[in-house]
Amino acid sequence: MINLEISPGHQNLSNMINGMAKSMIRPLSRKYDIKEHEKAVELENLAKMMEKMGGGGLGGGDKKDKKEASGAPEIKNGMQMLGVIGAMEMCWACTGLTLAIPGMGLGNAAIDAVASDEQKERFGKVFAAMAITEPGTGSDSANVCTTAEADGDEWVINGEKIFVTDGGQCTHVVVWATLDKSVGKAAIKSFVVPKDAPGLEVVRLEKKMGIRASDTAAITFTNCRIPRDNILGDATIARTAEERKKAFGGVMQTFDNTRPAVGAMANGVARAALDMTREILEKEGVSLDYGKRRWNSSALQAEFYNMEADYEAARLLILKAAWLADNKTPNSKEASMCKAKSGRVGSYITLRCVEICSSLGYGEEYLLEKFARDSKILDIFEGTQQIQQLIVARHQLGLSSRELK
């Protein structure tokens, strides 16, 4: 039974996170949007507070299942649910600064998803970026060309990664690399690489339209050596079709954790835009009367209600995907559904709110124009709109990636 009501404990944590976001992040939003690439030192104290609250990266942590008296797993809203709720509240304040909080990187979610208990102990407090995209590899993650070769007690990594979120400020990078390009996606593994590892070089920080408080880097790996036990998961290369499916599925589990979180980020920005637009409209004498039937409302009021309905639909899809993950139920289709819906809705709502508020939305007196700039990337990274729809179609039709491209 799926229960998408927020538990009292989660609601209390949500209220606490909202309070922190409102007082500690929103006031800095414009400052670090202007000062691109400058480290927001104020976030260090916030990171410590988030750690005490149990934050484990944007995908949430991974706690051991509690057992009921019968011995069956307890149905619960757990760390994944907390992760998406937290992402909504934090990105209501500022998406860029949320991504820049130490220990809240996308790489942390990858560690939470597939690391062993020993690795979680070792890497539990690092600030990890995620390096997947390459100059010749965009949405097709299976086409990774960066290589990892075993050499004694070490892995030697060679390749180039681009668009690495937090690549400049992080302490570690979770790198996707192939053990054998000829085998295809089954040979792709993820590795935790310390930022100070010999051979790792941050060669460029991108200038961007949005999420400017969070740096985006290009990183090269030249004979970069890391310990043998820094691989996440099994180092065995799958050979049979079933083994290959299972092996790459373990790597892709990262996305099943992070896509609902990115959807939650888009949902948080959409809510921020709706809240601010409502505030501006009320100041201008335009009231929203929910007691009226829609056909008796003005065109502007009706459009606002439609945007709120889209926002709520996306929010429920996110909660469902998180609930499934917390209860150890496959959620790949739902993760893609919520990411696709939230990314599209977030971009539409933020841009339409700018248009509705006219010069007040386009100027810098309010943050509406910044919300619109920030929201677009949330529809792109962690898999574009088109990729999410393709994944959903494969699940619905029961077809493999080879059968439906």
Alpha-carbon distance of 52 to 280, in angstroms, equals 36
* Active-site hit among 160, 312, 382, 403: 382
DSSP per-residue letters across 263-314: HHHHHHHHHHHHHHHHHHHHHTT----TTS-GGGS-HHHHHHHHHHHHHHHH
Contacts of 85 by beta carbon, 8 Å cutoff, 6+ apart: 6, 10, 13, 14, 17, 264
Contacts of 214 by beta carbon, 8 Å cutoff, 6+ apart: 95, 96, 97, 98, 99, 100, 165, 166
Reported as type and span, the H/E element at residue 52 is: helix 43-52
Alpha-carbon distance of 347 to 273, in angstroms, equals 10
- Give bridge partners of residue 168 from the DSSP assignment: none
Alpha-carbon distance of 236 to 214, in angstroms, equals 35
Q: State the Rg of the chain over Cα.
A: 21
Q: Could you say which DSSP state residue 382 is in?
A: T
Which amino acid, residue 284? E
Alpha-carbon distance of 105 to 100, in angstroms, equals 7
Contact 224, 204 (CB under 8 A): no
Burial annotation 366-398 (CB, 10 A radius, 16+ → b, else e): bbbbbbbbbbbbbbbbbbbeebbebbbebeeee
DSSP per-residue letters across 101-126: STT-SHHHHHHHHH--HHHHHHHTT-
Contacts of 260 by beta carbon, 8 Å cutoff, 6+ apart: 59, 80, 83, 84, 318, 321, 322, 325, 331, 334, 335, 338, 339
Active site annotation includes 365: no
* Catalytic annotation, residues: 382
